[in-house]
Structure 1
Amino acid sequence: MNAKSELMKEKILNAVIELFTEKGIDKVKTRDVTEYLGLSRSHIYHYFKDWQSLSLAAVTSFINAEIKEFRFIIQPLSARQKLQEFINGMITDAPDPTRKLYGSLWLLSTHDEAYASLMQTFLDEWHEVLANIIQTGMDEQSFRSVDVHRVARQLDAMLFGYSEQILTLPSKGLVEQAKEDIDDFIHRNILTC
């Protein structure tokens, strides 16, 4: 593809991501994208074979960018600071504008193999980010020697569980309880002192 085509493809993907973030994947239709961009349906499908291809490409682009940005942000930090950033990204009482995108991806993955595969890929990538943080802490000797992937899975489960609970039943008390429980787990299982 030439540069102009690549720019148009990127423009379409960015619009879809914006709409998915605002409404959720399952609530956006081709018509929404055409109206948003002022393009015809055929113009959009010149770049993407069908709606699912466009949706999967948009979600992939969005989440890959999030992971890349997160890795860049935490790169200069100590392992403890990296771990705290990871937790803060999951457990917050502030509204997260990307929750609709993630939530609808999660729901679609329960009955669509393409979305399930994509979701598993992203979960694996985020797990690796967390495992690398724990390994870095062990290398720095600020974390005790643990089974990195096991502890990362345990912490992932806590973070995802609390994150979904906070999304479903938001309350300041629940956020504080989640932070306290996660902090307790980290002190008991990860930190050296």
Structure 2
Amino acid sequence: MKAKSELMREKILNGVVELFIEKGIENVTTRELTEHIGVSRSHIYHYFKDWQSLSIEAVANFMRSELAEFRTIITPLPAIQKLQEFIHGMISEEPDPTRKLYGSLWLLSTHNGAYAEQMQFFLDEWHKVLTYIIDSGIEEGVFQRVDVHRTARQLDAMLFGYSEHLFTLPSSAALLQAKEDIESFIEMNLLSDNINVI
């Protein structure tokens, strides 16, 4: 019985994340979820006390999974490749299919404390990933000795800013400019020698 209950919770959580990725968190209704996964409204609220609880748990599970997957991918790589993977996760020619989910969470966090708390937690976790990458580059001797947290904050701010710009006003010229600016920042502030990062 417990296993069946866990499977149903997982089905609901996965179903709502699929809709969040497609439409954004604020654009999904309980009715759409019931139609999408084929269960009744009362069934959903048997497992979750309200829509916000369901939304927050679903997004948290999804983000934890993304973080774990990314950490697994970069762990065996040299620092330069770790950094390339991090950059390409935010600045890429292919549109990010999860962009609507992240954009919605960011918007909701501006006026809802529960979403803001979740957003801050995951921003902190991604910051840890970036500081880990910079630390590994310093240990390998490919990055200069820098204030790791400050450099990570600066780089993250650039990546986030360009990512928002490219999502709102996408163009090949803007993408090229973003890549050149990020590469220039890394060359001037991080690299021990001239290695092409992007």
* TM-score interval, normalised by the smaller of the two chains: over 0.9
CA distance in 2, matches of 1:18, 1:38: 14
Once the two structures are superposed, residues 40-63 of structure 1 have per-residue CA deviations (whole angstroms, 9 ceiling, x without a partner) of 111011111100000000100111
CA distance in 1, matches of 2:89, 2:99: 11
CA distance in 1, matches of 2:176, 2:64: 30
Which 4+ runs in 1 deviate beyond 3 A?
none
CA distance in 2, matches of 1:7, 1:73: 27
CA distance in 2, matches of 1:146, 1:3: 49
Query: Do the aligned partners of 1:30 and 1:41 also contact (CA within 8 Å) in 2?
Result: yes
Once the two structures are superposed, residues 123-168 of structure 1 have per-residue CA deviations (whole angstroms, 9 ceiling, x without a partner) of 0000100000000111111111001000000000000000000001
Deviation, 1:94, is 1.2
Identity %: 68
Query: Do the aligned partners of 1:166 and 1:174 also contact (CA within 8 Å) in 2?
Result: yes
Once the two structures are superposed, residues 12-56 of structure 1 have per-residue CA deviations (whole angstroms, 9 ceiling, x without a partner) of 100000000000000001111101111111101111110000000
Is residue 132 of structure 2 the alignment partner of residue 144 of structure 1?
no
- Report the counterpart of residue 64 of structure 1 in structure 2: 64
- Report the counterpart of residue 103 of structure 2 in structure 1: 103
Is residue 118 of structure 2 the alignment partner of residue 118 of structure 1?
yes
- Report the counterpart of residue 188 of structure 2 in structure 1: 188
- Report the counterpart of residue 22 of structure 2 in structure 1: 22
How many residue pairs match? The answer is 193
CA distance in 2, matches of 1:53, 1:105: 14
- Report the counterpart of residue 87 of structure 1 in structure 2: 87
CA distance in 1, matches of 2:37, 2:150: 45
- In structure 1, list runs of 5 or more residues that go unmatched: none
**Quick one: which amino acid aligns to residue 141 of structure 2?**
Q
**Quick one: which amino acid aligns to residue 161 of structure 2?**
G
Question: Secondary structure, in 3 states, of the residue corresponding to 1:115?
Answer: helix
Question: Secondary structure, in 3 states, of the residue corresponding to 1:43?
Answer: helix
**Any residues of structure 2 matched to 1:125-136 within 5 Å, and which?**
125-136=125-136
CA distance in 1, matches of 2:14, 2:184: 40
Question: Secondary structure, in 3 states, of the residue corresponding to 2:18?
Answer: helix
**Quick one: which amino acid aligns to residue 188 of structure 2?**
R
- Report the counterpart of residue 75 of structure 2 in structure 1: 75
- In structure 2, list runs of 5 or more residues that go unmatched: 194-198
- Report the counterpart of residue 45 of structure 2 in structure 1: 45
Deviation, 1:177, is 0.4
